[in-house]
């Protein structure tokens, strides 16, 4: 019993510390992920002495957290905000990813002497922007809706093709002409599965007279997680399925839609705190010294060449203004996702997998310190100003006397209101 009490106490203390760290991060203008990583390092072997080196468990927690973060991102993203940049966002998540992998791979092969497959593997791991970092930073900075929609859509959908590239490049299996067809199937099937679960879930939730308001957010999130599982079991992209399902559900006329968004936001924060603290606990700080030089080289190639070229390739067909392209190039934020993908490569048996994890960890910290605090300045300099959204969701107001006859007060056993009044 004592160990359970201690574990619950430590977990509660870490969550509370993470919650208050959000306030600190807002004041200093940095993503809270850095503070969460710092908490994990503080708890780890080099400071307080907690020994933790379970890579499979860290990867599993990372996947679970990513599912919840993508679900939160989809549920709190308004379709009207991402629709103007739909083409650019999808292009960034597909063609942009391919260009980034190619440029980083060539750069690391020439500058660090890595073999081609390992260089492209590193490029794949580093090519994915992080949904949690993008959502938390951009919605507080106040970027124009069009540009924010492009970046949010990219960060919500580019994990799916990237993880396929990481798994293919980390294995020793040869890449054949069937590989591109497999990628197309997994992405297409994942999107279809997510759409079907989203539409079916919205239809069912609108007709289910659940006995408590709190059951609607729980059921909505369960539909999103079920979409991920169905996608994975169908050998499709579960990550794309969960984001598409959440996007459909978040823009449907769900009962207690405000409560759903608030609950999803809370679960998203919990997932971020858990995964970043665990990643900080997993890493070994003394080993990070040797990773500084490769991280600097990879970061330079990524920031100066790969990201701008990938944005140019994705945005050129859509005639995106050069100022918006410049901000898109700068605001491709990294976070937990590249670290989780590096763990995937490590578990798949990729050569120098431990080195890759250390390099990506250093690179994420460095790029976050470089990019995030300057997003507001570059937003103004490149004319991409919009209204800041400090809260990702809004609470559900109490229904007023002007609510329609179909309000929840008559259709559902609750007095909190429905989609018509939220």
SS (H, E, C) 112-142: HCCCHHHHHHHHHHHCCCCHHHHHHHHHHHC
Region 247-259 average pLDDT: 89
Q: Which two tokens stand for residue 148?
A: 């924010």
Please report the pLDDT score of residue 2 as a whole number: 57
Token look-up 């499979």 returns 56
pLDDT tens for each residue of 276-328: 888 888 888 888 888 899 999 999 999 999 999 999 998 888 888 888 888 88
- Collapsing DSSP to helix, strand or coil, 24 comes out as helix
143 bridge partner residues: 385
User: How many other β-carbons are positioned within 10 Å of the β-carbon of residue 323?
Assistant: 14
Given a cut of 70, whether residue 389 has pLDDT beyond it is no
Residue 219 has pLDDT above 80, yes or no: yes
Distance CA 417, CA 219 (A): 17
> How much is the average pLDDT of 33-37?
82
Comparing C-alpha atoms, which of 281, 279, 335, 329 is closest to residue 308?
Answer: 329
- What does the alpha-carbon distance between residue 295 and residue 366 come to, in Å, rounded to a whole number? 9
CATH class of 25-386+393-421: mainly alpha
Give mean pLDDT, residues 130-149: 71
Q: Kind and range of the H or E element at 108?
A: helix 95-112
160/181 Cα distance (integer angstroms): 15
pTM of the entire predicted model = 0.82
Q: Which two tokens stand for residue 409?
A: 């007060």
The pLDDT score that the predictor gives to residue 383 is 56
CB atoms within 10 A of CB 359: 27
User: DSSP characters for 294-312?
Assistant: HHHHHHHIIIIIIHHHHHH
Mean pLDDT within 134-143 = 66
CA distances from 315 to 124, 151, 367, 379, 403 (A): 20, 12, 23, 18, 44
CB 30 within 8 A of CB 141: no
**How distant is the alpha carbon of residue 399 from its chain centre?**
34
Helices (H), 130-256: 131-141, 145-157, 159-170, 178-207, 215-233, 238-250
The 8 Å CB, 24+ separation contacts for 382-385 are 382/323, 382/324, 382/326, 382/327, 383/323, 384/143, 384/144, 384/147, 384/323, 384/324, 384/327, 385/142, 385/143, 385/144
Task: Report which of residues 100 and 391 the model is more confident about.
Answer: 100
State the pLDDT at residue 398. Answer: 36
Q: Compute the mean pLDDT over every residue in the chain, rounded to the nearest whole number.
A: 81
Query: Model confidence at 243, in pLDDT bands (50, 70, 90)?
Result: very high
Average confidence (pLDDT) over 171-195: 84
pLDDT at 420 over 70: no
Q: Each residue of 337-380: pLDDT tens digit? A: 888 888 888 888 787 778 888 899 999 888 888 776 666 655 55
Q: Which residue has the higher pLDDT, 354 or 248?
A: 248
């Amino acid at each position: 019993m004592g160990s359970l009490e201690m574990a619950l106490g430590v977990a509660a203390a870490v969550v509370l510390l993470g919650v208050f760290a959000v306030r600190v991060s807002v004041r200093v203008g940095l993503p809270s992920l850095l503070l969460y990583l710092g908490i994990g390092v503080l708890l780890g072997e080099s400071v307080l002495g907690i020994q933790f080196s379970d890579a499979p468990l860290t990867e599993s927690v990372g996947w679970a957290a990513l599912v919840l973060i993508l679900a939160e991102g989809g549920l709190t993203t308004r379709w009207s905000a991402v629709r103007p940049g739909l083409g650019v966002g999808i292009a960034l998540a597909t063609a942009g990813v391919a260009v980034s992998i190619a440029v980083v791979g060539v750069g690391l092969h020439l500058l660090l002497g890595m073999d081609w497959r390992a260089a492209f593997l590193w490029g794949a791991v580093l090519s994915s922007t992080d949904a949690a970092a993008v959502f938390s930073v951009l919605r507080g900075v106040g970027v124009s809706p069009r540009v924010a929609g492009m970046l949010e859509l990219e960060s919500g959908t580019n994990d799916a093709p990237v993880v396929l590239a990481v798994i293919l490049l980390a294995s020793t299996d040869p890449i054949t002409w069937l590989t591109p067809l497999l990628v197309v199937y997994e992405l297409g099937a994942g999107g279809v599965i997510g759409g079907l679960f989203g539409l079916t879930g919205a239809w069912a939730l609108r007709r289910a007279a659940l006995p408590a308001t709190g059951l609607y957010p729980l059921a909505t999130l369960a539909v999103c997680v079920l979409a991920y599982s169905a996608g994975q079991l169908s050998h499709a992209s579960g990550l794309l399925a969960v984001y598409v399902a959440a996007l459909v559900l978040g823009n449907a006329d769900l009962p207690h839609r405000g409560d759903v968004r608030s609950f999803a936001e809370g679960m998203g924060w919990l997932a971020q705190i858990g995964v970043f603290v665990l990643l900080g606990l997993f890493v070994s700080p003394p080993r990070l010294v040797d990773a500084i030089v490769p991280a600097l080289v990879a970061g330079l190639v990524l920031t100066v060449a790969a990201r701008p070229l990938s944005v140019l390739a994705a945005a050129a067909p859509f005639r995106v203004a050069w100022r918006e392209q410049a901000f898109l190039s700068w605001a491709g934020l990294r976070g937990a996702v590249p670290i989780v993908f590096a763990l995937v490569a490590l578990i798949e048996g990729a050569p120098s997998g431990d080195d890759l994890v250390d390099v990506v960890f250093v690179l994420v910290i460095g790029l976050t310190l470089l990019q995030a605090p300057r997003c507001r300045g570059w937003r103004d300099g490149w004319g991409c100003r919009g209204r800041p959204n400090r809260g990702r969701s809004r609470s559900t107001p109490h229904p007023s006397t002007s609510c329609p006859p179909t309000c929840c007060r008559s259709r559902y056993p609750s007095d909190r209101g429905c989609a018509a009044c939220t």
